[in-house]
């Protein structure tokens, strides 16, 4: 979840630079984490259902080392295989 971690950091960094309180930074951390997870879910679904030519990157249809994906458990593949 490298990109998700970057999105989370961007939210927290804004709070730090804006001199947010500890509670506000914690809220930004939770928000950033949710945004990062949402991005990862969308990216995983595109990896399963997307077209590598349109996405400009390899998809699940392109051979590469296996890694855990949300979509294997809850997404289109999870629904189809269960």
More confident residue, 53 or 74: 53
Gap between the Cα atoms of 69 and 50, Å rounded: 15
Euclidean distance between CA atoms 60 and 53, whole angstroms: 13
CB neighbour burial string for 63-82, b if at least 16 within 10 angstroms, e if fewer: eeeeeebbbbeebebeeeee
Residues 14-38 have a mean pLDDT of: 96
Name the pLDDT band for 45 (thresholds 50, 70, 90): confident
């Amino acid at each position: 979840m490298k990109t998700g971690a970057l999105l989370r950091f961007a939210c927290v960094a804004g709070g730090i630079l804006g001199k947010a309180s500890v509670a506000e930074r914690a809220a930004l951390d939770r928000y950033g984490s949710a945004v990062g997870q949402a991005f990862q879910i969308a990216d995983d679904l595109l990896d399963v259902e997307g077209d590598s030519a349109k996405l400009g990157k390899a998809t699940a249809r392109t051979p590469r080392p296996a890694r855990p994906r949300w979509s294997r458990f809850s997404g289109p593949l999870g629904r189809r295989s269960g």
